[in-house]
């Protein structure tokens, strides 16, 4: 059975709200009741279908101009969900913590212990549910379902990035949400497989390492960072992603994910401020018609670690909320890099993009601008 069938079942079972309005896994309480003013209707028409668990995915046949997308979550689901809850840092929130912080938003029967996992596993499932809208948009454009893979799944079954994933994939999305403490890393054979994948015309790798909050040993600096992003569900130290960092290093992607920065909003609203887009560098048109991504309280700055401007292009920056001090802004910065592009080069025929994984979820809302960005990825 296809992953989208599971998504449809989940929606039919009462989880439709996860794609119809912002949800609250690791959201600041000040964002709880709000929806961006420009958010489009999030209604999704779905049908119930039966679910099987140990399914083997049928390969998607190549069709010219119809890109096949695959999402790869870099975590070990058991290792993340079995974290010691007495540990304050470097773990996801439990659903119980989410419910307490966001009360009463998760007090409906669909979120009860009879229907939904209450520990860290429940929060991980929120991420899976949050990409349903993205999957549906891409399915509509391409005619292909978006496959949803995990490095280690709920049953402890591991899946390296190899031809099982890559053979019927044109756009690979690596969502870097594994904590550094979980010691995930890209194996040499995976790096080799992705290098081979990128020699194919029309391929694209999207790497999305998440934030790096509290990297300093200075506890006062950690507290400053925490006060800046304002999310009570994110601890003073939450560092992502060992897998994504090792993958970028192995592929020669000169980027480091740093900080967890609170984006600026439009004055008088809780709508994220427009992007600063470098349209002269965007010769492929990735950002055609795109003015904003979606709001997230703590986004990474993608620091470029090379002076070679031909190797990688910063296509968009996001302005920072200056009302809350942060070491990055105290150093004179007012924006952070949020969307980067490495055009084809040498034997690499495929594109490489760097963008945060939350841009593809609806945990923090969606909009026509975001839908346009998703469609661009499928068509340019």
Confidence of residue 239 (pLDDT cuts 50, 70, 90): very high
Span 118-155, pLDDT tens digits: 999 999 999 999 999 999 999 999 999 999 999 999 99
pLDDT tens readout for residues 156-214: 999 999 999 999 999 999 999 999 999 999 999 999 999 999 999 999 999 999 999 99
In a domain, 56, yes or no: no
Paired tokens of 185: 């890393």
* 45 occurs within a structural domain: no
Q: pLDDT tens digit string along 107-118? A: 999 999 999 999
For the cut 90, the answer to whether the pLDDT of residue 59 exceeds it is: no
pLDDT tens-digit map of 314-370 = 999 999 999 999 999 999 999 999 999 999 999 999 999 999 999 999 876 778 999
Task: Please check whether residue 123 is in contact with residue 23, taking contact to mean a CB–CB distance below 8 angstroms.
Answer: no
Confidence of residue 57 (pLDDT cuts 50, 70, 90): confident
C-alpha–C-alpha distance, residues 368 and 370, integer Å: 5
Q: How far does the chain reach from its first CA to its final CA, in angstroms?
A: 30
Q: What is the pLDDT of residue 52?
A: 58
pLDDT at 58: 80
The pLDDT mean for the chain works out to 88
Query: Does 37 have pLDDT greater than 60?
Result: no
Which residues form the domain of 185? 3-36+66-379
| C-alpha–C-alpha distance, residues 316 and 342, integer Å | 13
Tell me how far CA of residue 39 lies from CA of 18, 43, 275, in angstroms.
Answer: 14, 12, 16
The confidence band for 18, taking pLDDT boundaries of 50, 70 and 90, is very low
Helices (H), the chain: 3-10, 17-20, 77-81, 95-102, 120-130, 132-142, 163-166, 188-197, 219-229, 242-251, 327-330, 368-379
Q: Is the pLDDT of residue 11 over 80?
A: no
Task: Locate all alpha helices (DSSP H) within 215-341, ordered by sequence.
Answer: 219-229, 242-251, 327-330
Q: Which residues pair with 174 in a beta bridge?
A: 72, 207
Provide the phi-psi class of 259: left if phi over 0, else alpha when psi is between -120 and 50, else beta.
left
Number of H helices, E strands in the chain: 12, 12
Q: For residue 309, name the pLDDT band (cuts at 50, 70, 90).
A: confident
> 178 near 242, Cβ under 8 Å?
yes
Model confidence at 23: pLDDT above 70: no
pLDDT number for residue 143: 95
Q: How many structural domains does the chain have?
A: 1
Integer angstrom CA distances of residue 342 from 19, 212, 263, 316, 339:
31, 22, 24, 13, 11
Question: Are the C-beta atoms of 328 and 339 separated by less than 8 Å?
Answer: no
- Does the residue 347 lie in any domain? yes
> Is 110 within the bounds of a domain?
yes
| Tokens, residue 284 | 């492929």
Whether 247 contacts 191, CB under 8 Å: yes
The CB-side HSE value for 264 (13 A sphere, CA atoms) comes to 19
- Asked if 131 and 147 touch (Cβ cutoff 8 Å), the reply is no
Residues 277-307 have pLDDT tens digits of 999 999 999 999 999 999 999 999 999 999 9
* Max Cα-Cα span within the chain: 55
- Tens-place pLDDT, residues 61-100: 999 999 999 999 999 999 999 999 999 999 999 999 999 9
* DSSP strand pairing (313-319 vs 147-152): unpaired
Asked if residues 105 and 34 have their Cβ atoms less than 8 Å apart, the reply is: no
pLDDT at 30: 41
The answer to whether residue 49 sits within a structural domain is no
Task: Provide the edge-to-edge strand list for the sheet that holds 171-176.
Answer: 147-152, 69-76, 171-176, 204-209, 351-355, 335-342, 313-319, 276-277
- On the question of pLDDT at 38 being above 70, the answer is no
Does residue 46 lie in a domain region?
no
Q: What does the block give as tokens for 219?
A: 């506890």
Q: What is the pLDDT of residue 32?
A: 40
Residue 58 lies in a domain: no
- Asked if residue 10 is part of any domain, the answer here is yes
**What pLDDT is recorded for position 316?**
98
């Amino acid at each position: 059975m296809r992953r989208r069938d599971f998504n449809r079942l989940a929606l039919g079972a009462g989880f439709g709200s996860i794609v119809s309005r912002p949800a609250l896994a690791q959201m600041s309480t000040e964002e709880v009741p709000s929806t961006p003013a420009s958010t489009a209707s999030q209604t999704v028409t779905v049908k119930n279908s039966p679910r099987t668990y140990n399914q083997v995915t049928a390969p998607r046949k190549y069709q010219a101009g119809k890109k096949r997308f695959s999402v790869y979550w870099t975590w070990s689901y058991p290792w993340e969900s079995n974290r010691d809850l007495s540990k304050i840092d470097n773990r996801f929130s439990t659903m119980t913590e989410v419910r307490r912080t966001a009360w009463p938003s998760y007090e409906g029967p669909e979120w009860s212990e009879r229907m939904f996992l209450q520990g860290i596993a429940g929060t991980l499932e929120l991420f899976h549910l949050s990409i349903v809208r993205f999957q549906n948009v891409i399915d509509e454009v391409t005619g292909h379902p978006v496959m949803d893979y995990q490095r280690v799944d709920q049953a402890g079954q591991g899946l390296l990035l190899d031809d099982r994933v890559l053979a019927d994939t044109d756009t690979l999305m690596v969502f870097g949400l594994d904590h550094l403490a979980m010691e995930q890393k890209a194996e040499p054979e995976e790096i080799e497989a992705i290098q081979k994948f990128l020699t194919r015309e029309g391929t694209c790798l999207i790497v999305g390492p998440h934030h790096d909050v509290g990297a300093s040993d200075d506890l006062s600096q950690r507290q400053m960072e925490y006060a800046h992003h304002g999310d009570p569900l994110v601890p003073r130290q939450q560092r992502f992603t060992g897998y994504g960092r090792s993958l970028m290093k192995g592929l020669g992607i000169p980027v480091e994910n740093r900080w967890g920065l609170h984006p600026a909003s439009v004055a008088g609203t809780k709508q994220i401020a427009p992007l600063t887009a470098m349209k002269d560098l965007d010769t492929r048109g990735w950002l055609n018609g795109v003015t904003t991504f979606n709001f997230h309280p703590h986004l990474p700055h993608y620091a470029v670690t090379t002076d070679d401007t031909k190797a990688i292009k910063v296509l968009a920056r996001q302005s920072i909320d200056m009302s809350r001090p942060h070491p990055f802004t105290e150093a004179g910065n007012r924006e952070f890099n949020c969307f980067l592009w490495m055009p084809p080069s040498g034997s690499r025929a495929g594109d490489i993009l760097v963008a945060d994984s939350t841009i593809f979820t609806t945990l923090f809302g969606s909009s026509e601008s975001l839908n346009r960005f998703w469609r661009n990825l499928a068509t340019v």
